[in-house]
Structure 1
Amino acid sequence: MSRRSRNMRSSSNLGGLIGLLSEATTLAVRVGKHSPVEKVRNLSQTVENFLDANDPRLMARRLLVDESHQLERGDHVYVQRVGYTHHGIYVGGGRVVHYLLNQGILEDSLENFASGMNVQRKNSIQRYSDRETVRRAYSRIGEDKYNLFHNNCEHFASWCRNGS
């Protein structure tokens, strides 16, 4: 397949995704207890996550973490998946608290979280201390209210570190 064909196919897929997200935004704004401003901000994060996960220019600049001793408690970590990134909070001892679609928020090994991919540290805004970030992550274990547009794994990790 030529480079031009791949780019055109990629643009077509992106156009379809944007259409789908537009419809989902309309639905998300009508349903739920979050304000329209929160819903738009969360949807924006979701779209940004998708675009960042598929931008080869950004992939080269990401900090790769090959060994867990390079991570610190309270770090916002993520791994590349097909078409998106999966986020969590590193809580120390080779463990991560993260939000899974069908399992809710749980503590897991770094190895299971990574699923064979390189773990990366995200330089997200941190309002809370590392200790408080970890406490906040543990406080939501067992929650099972995942929503792609306003309560996903990236929203959870951001909430743990900065409350938003």
Structure 2
Amino acid sequence: MPDSPPPVIVVMGVAGTGKTTVGALLAGKLGWRYAEADEFHSAANVAKMAAGQPLTDDDRAPWLAAIGRWIDELAAEGTPGVVSCSGLRRQYRDQLREGRPQVRLVFLDGSRELITRRLAARHGHFMRVEMLDSQFAALEPPQPDEDVLEVSIAATPEQIVDEIVLRSRLH
């Protein structure tokens, strides 16, 4: 096993920024394992969001712990990975990074107008456009001391992935 675990990239941002698309494409391009953080939510959390109710910190605690366990499993296996996760608040990002120096954060950023259009075009997803306000209200944009790679969502998903690979020096 190597001295340090292989990287895990957390693709983060509010709903509608393309976290799942970009995360899956990035993992595919790199040949890394991928997980969508929504899969770590409890049925109760999914039902709450589907009903238009924002999650509380208490709702998110077991979800973040489950994502952390997934990252730890990858480290134990010596496997790099990508996970898409909103990571809206610094405390959530800090929790995912706690004791995990291999975690790298990528913040997908875009205008409220673009994100609203994207959410309105989605069908069959529990996150409704009406909940975007709660996402932006909860968002604590990454600060310089967090060493987060910020990428605009104005480009195509493929271009975004190429930018992440280039700027993260993963090539």
Same-fold status (TM-score > 0.5):
no
Higher strand share: 1
Q: TM-score, normalised by structure 2?
A: 0.26
Q: TM-score, normalised by structure 1?
A: 0.27
Radius of gyration: which is bigger?
Answer: 1
